[in-house]
Amino acid sequence: MATEPLLEASGVVKSFGAVLALRNASLEVAPGEVVALMGANGAGKSTLVKILTGAIRPDAGQIRIKGRDHRVHSPAQARQTGLVPVYQEPSLIPDLDVAANLRLSNTPVEPFLKWVEELGIAGLHLDEPVLRLPLATLRILDLARALASEPDVLLLDEMTAALPTDLVERVLKVVRQQCELDRSVIYISHRFSEISSLCDRATVLRDGETVGTVEVGPGSEERIVEMMLGAPVKSAEEIVRATGSALPVQTQETPRLRVRNLSSGTKLSDVSFEMRAGEVLGVVALEGQGQDELFEVLAGFERPSGGHIEIDGRDVRFHHPADAIAAGHVYVPGDRADALLMQRSVRENIALPFYARPFRWGNINMGKEKSRVGAAIERLQIDTRAQGEVQRLSGGNQQKVTIARWIAAGVRTLLCFDPTRGIDIRTKREIYPLLRELADQGSSVLLYTSELEEVQLACDRAVVIFNGRVVDVIDAHDADEPTLMRAAYGLTAGDANAKAPTGEAAEASPS
């Protein structure tokens, strides 16, 4: 780093009771630089960001801003000194509308709206209650709010984890623009493609300690992973080999799930597809193409406005999520806050389905429950140091709990909405074979993923949705990222202009 750092942290220590979250963390960022902050789930990244932006106090350590020692007492004070975060979880108050949230945080409305538009969200109404907005929109609003205050150092904690590809591109563009203005960005993500396209350097935390900083460039990914984990992870090729390719098509077999002409409001029209027992079926879509509505209908949260759902050849109607669960459909929602009992322990959260089904299972077999829960914790390498309350776990570890629950309980049909959000590379590469294993044992898995590479790593086929309709069904071995992207924009090979995209996707569509 040639120029003087804009922000420097060194020797930062933080404990939460018995948990030593940071033992010796350091970080530097210069003007105009994007520095990645990397580390496995629970390494201490969010804790460091919260300390730098005054949300929590460190036990020890120095913070220097523009060469001068600083004690950051509060988020308001951090903001005044130009340090503005977007935390890992949405921070707007759900019970208020957007306008009230802006007033509360003294955010200027005009610049906020300009950023919202620039970041690809069209038609936002300021009187919209926040709790009605999808997770991806909430993340964009958090970023727009941060940008409206023109920060010197923007700290983005897993900003893109809930975003589909088109919105990620918008975020990356805006981050690059910040750097052109000589502002700095600290960028946390588990997506290496973003790190290599955006970041100048990567500082790596391991078990609460900064173990080094790497110039980002060809070959740096392996170095970063080794520094993060102390060992290499399975390569994508190994995963594809282990998970195998598409299942043979067995047309006589009654599908586990058949969706016929399903519609929901204006967002989902006439969607039809089939999923067999033993299949992992991907769902690919850009932001707002109807994928949220599809999962809500299949999980019993919304009633469809038209069409049919068949399970094992029988028409079903869900009036309530409990009906879907009774029919064997379990849901891992995109927003983990919707799935977890935040004040209960890791074990209680994972064991939940055992208690929900006692009438079917007779007395709860405590021994069996304990050993299944233990095996799921082990399998997903859940950090249990703060296991007494799930809210004290790191974001990635919370996400693992939402999956572990169904690994422990067993499922017939698993509806997963972006289940690897915020999960580190090692565990992600454990989760793909695990989904395959569930399928091999006879379950079906419907997997919406915002990370297109996951289709080839985890799925047999992928259904592509555009403008609320299924526009393609692609076998996994043909589903490379360019093919999926074209289909997701409503284009088919050799047909670049045939289907004119409309709405938000049209704005984001490549020319």
Ligand X SMILES: Nc1ncnc2c1ncn2[C@@H]1O[C@H](COP(=O)(O)OP(=O)(O)OP(=O)(O)O)[C@@H](O)[C@H]1O
Binding segment (CB under 6 A) for ligand X, from list 16-24, 312-320, 447-455, 469-477: 16-24
Among 142, 293, 302, 383, binds ligand X (CB under 6 A): 383
Rounded Cα distance, 272 and 293, in Å: 14
Q: Which residue has the tokens 């805006």?
A: 174
In the list 191, 344, 370, 385, the residue contacting ligand X (rule: CB under 6 A) is: 385
Cα of 42 vs its chain's centroid, Å: 16
The yes or no reply on residue 422 touching ligand X (CB under 6 A) is yes
Distance CA 460, CA 42 (A): 32
Q: Which residues pair with 129 in a beta bridge?
A: 97
Q: Which position among 42, 54, 290, 419 is part of the footprint of ligand X (CB under 6 A)? A: 42
Which range binds ligand X by CB under 6 A, 362-370, 383-391, 464-472, 474-482?
383-391
Does 105 participate in binding ligand X (rule CB under 6 A)?
no
Nearest approach in angstroms of CB 36 to ligand X is 13
Q: Quick check: 45 binds ligand X (CB under 6 A)?
A: yes
**One residue of 38, 102, 285, 386 binding ligand X per CB under 6 A:** 386
Cα–Cα distance between 485 and 490 in angstroms, integer?
Answer: 9
Counting contacts by CB under 6 A, is residue 344 touching ligand X? no
Q: How far is the CB of 31 from ligand X (least distance, A)?
A: 25
Write out 388-408 in H/E/C secondary structure.
CCHHHCCHHHHHHHHHHHHHH
Out of 288, 395, 433, 468, the residue judged to bind ligand X by CB under 6 A = 395
- Given a contact cutoff of 8 angstroms between Cβ atoms, the answer to whether 186 and 136 are in contact is no
Residue type at position 88:
Q
CA distances from 144 to 108, 114, 154, 289, 496 (A): 11, 8, 11, 22, 32
What part of residues 46-65 is at the interface with ligand X (CB under 6 A)? 46-47
Residue 86 Cβ, how far from ligand X at the closest point, in Å?
13
Q: Which stretches within 230-290 are classed as H helix?
A: 236-243
Choosing from 16, 122, 358, 507, the residue that interacts with ligand X (CB under 6 A) is 16
Radius of gyration (C-alpha) of the chain in whole angstroms: 23
If one asks whether residue 43 binds ligand X (CB under 6 A), the answer comes out as yes
* Residue 291 lies near ligand X (rule: CB under 6 A): no
The DSSP line for 442-486 is: T-EEEEE-SSTHHHHHH-SEEEEEETTEEEEEEEGGG--HHHHHH
CB of 41 to ligand X, least distance (A): 3
Query: Given the rule CB under 6 A, which of 40-48, 133-141, 303-311, 403-411 is the region that contacts ligand X?
Result: 40-48
CB-based contacts of 125: which residues, under 8 Å, 6+ apart? 98
Q: Which of 44, 304, 334, 433 binds ligand X (CB under 6 A)?
A: 44
Mark the segment that binds ligand X (CB under 6 A) among 36-44, 59-67, 76-84, 104-112.
Answer: 36-44
Nearer to ligand X, 88 or 107 (CB): 88
5 forms part of the interface with ligand X (CB under 6 A):
no
In sequence order, what are the beta bridge partners of 488? Answer: none
Let me know if 118 is exposed, middle or buried by CB neighbors in 10 A (0-12, 13-18, 19+): middle
| Residue 392 lies near ligand X (rule: CB under 6 A) | yes
**Interaction of residue 39 with ligand X, rule CB under 6 A:** yes
Per CB under 6 A, residues contacting ligand X are 16, 19, 21, 39, 41-47, 88, 383, 385-386, 392-397, 422, 424
